[in-house]
Amino acid sequence: MEDSVPMEDSVPAEELPPSFPSAAPLALRHPRGTTRLLLGEGALAAAAAPLGEWLAGRRAFLLTTPRVWGLHGGSLGPLLAPATAVHRLEVPEGEAAKSLAETGRLWSAMLAAGGKRDSRLLAFGGGSVGDLGGFVAGAFLRGIACAQLPTTLLAQVDAAIGGKTAIDLPEAKNSVGLFHHPDLVVAEPAWLRTLPPRELRAGLVEAVKVAVALDAALFARIEAALPALLAGEPAALAAVAAAAATLKVGVVEADPEEAGVRAVLNFGHTLGHALETAAGYRGLLHGEAVAWGMRFALRLAVPRGLPAVDAARLERVLSEVVPAPPPDVDPGALAILLGRDK
């Protein structure tokens, strides 16, 4: 599934548009209903009404990290007022949150707090919070409704969209999980302004992945705007995030449970997951691992027919987004982990 990298040769490197249509409302139809997505500038303001309606008269669980809540809780908090009660559940930053022990602790806390089938869960944070929150919601009392409020570029572009949820076991990343689509995705670009540069770069990798797999014109725009994006220029980031997210919505609608075409989004992920597991889910961000996975996949793809010029363009972008050195992991352990991937 990783040897196909569609890319055009001759796409003009256009400038990015000054801004993406503000909070363009978007719907993702899936087999169990519809996800409403609010992307782009003003997304949070536009979410006030639908969030309020969704929460009214219900108990809400807000899954977040101390850092995210400290930075952005002030902007989200007032929108949660329609709930009868809001229980904030805090988890560690990053992959450390996605353990079975943490999952059990959250379920117990939700039961103790009076969680019922009509309760709501909001995942407010990066990809790990979203993966964990979706799983916790999907299996609590056989499934309660959730909303994804992604605060990182990686989560806004990729993780929060499409209903894939997961936790990790020591043996393999994302090895336990569900398809549990959120009712609502709110991706506010202002939340990206506090991202550490390394998180920003890791998120750009997923945007590059979506573009290279699905939209050569977007890839060319990312290439052209790379300095602005790496500098965290808000309008450039907001535009790329919304464009990549919109592309992903289309893929998920076409293949909601990854029976076929959606697998294109796993580009770089087989080696990427193995790298993360080999590193003990520490010291290596998901996007960084995927960048190395894509660069590795490129070496396989060129002998199988990928034009060298395409490979070189992607290689150049990835090496700028995630510079050397590659992660230091044991090759023997990596080989075993590669065999465990789904």
d(CA 161, CA 246): 9
CB of residue 340 vs a copy of itself: minimum separation in angstroms? 6
- Is 266 annotated as catalytic? yes
Q: Which is nearer to a copy of itself, 179 or 296 (CB)?
A: 179
Residue 278 phi/psi, 5-degree rounding, is -60, -30
Q: Is 40 exposed, middle or buried (0-12, 13-18, 19+ CB in 10 A)?
A: buried
Q: Pick the closest to residue 155 from 175, 182, 173 (CA basis).
A: 182
Which of the residues 59, 72, 273, 313 is marked catalytic?
273
User: Does residue 143 bind a copy of itself (CB under 8 A)?
Assistant: yes
Which of the residues 2, 201, 221, 266 is marked catalytic?
266
- Is 174 annotated as catalytic? no
Strands 33-39 and 184-187: parallel
d(CA 276, CA 158): 18
d(CA 241, CA 210): 10
How many chain residues bind a copy of itself (CB under 8 A)? 35
* Contacts of 241 by beta carbon, 8 Å cutoff, 6+ apart: 39, 153, 156, 157, 187, 189, 192, 207
CB of residue 337 vs a copy of itself: minimum separation in angstroms? 10
Q: Binding residue for a copy of itself (CB under 8 A) from 169, 217, 230, 334? A: 169
Which of the residues 98, 201, 209, 286 is marked catalytic?
286
Strands 59-64 and 25-30: unpaired
Q: Binding residue for a copy of itself (CB under 8 A) from 166, 200, 294, 317? A: 166
Q: Which helix (H) or strand (E) holds 172?
A: strand 172-179
Enter the tokens of residue 173.
């990343």
Residues 92-121 close enough to bind a copy of itself by CB under 8 A: 100, 103-104, 107-108, 111-112, 114, 116-117
CB of residue 80 vs a copy of itself: minimum separation in angstroms? 24
- Is 142 annotated as catalytic? yes
User: Does residue 299 bind a copy of itself (CB under 8 A)?
Assistant: no
Q: Which is nearer to a copy of itself, 225 or 274 (CB)?
A: 274
| CB distance 298 to 5 below 8 Å | yes
List beta partners, residue 184.
36, 147
Binding-site string for a copy of itself from residue 225 to residue 264, where x marks contact by CB under 8 A and - marks none: --------------------------------x-------
Q: Binding residue for a copy of itself (CB under 8 A) from 139, 226, 230, 235? A: 139
Which of the residues 59, 72, 120, 164 is marked catalytic?
164
Enter the tokens of residue 188.
């506010």
Where do contacts with a copy of itself occur on this chain (CB under 8 A)? 31-32, 100, 103-104, 107-108, 111-112, 114, 116-117, 135, 138-143, 164-166, 169-172, 175-179, 257, 339-340, 342
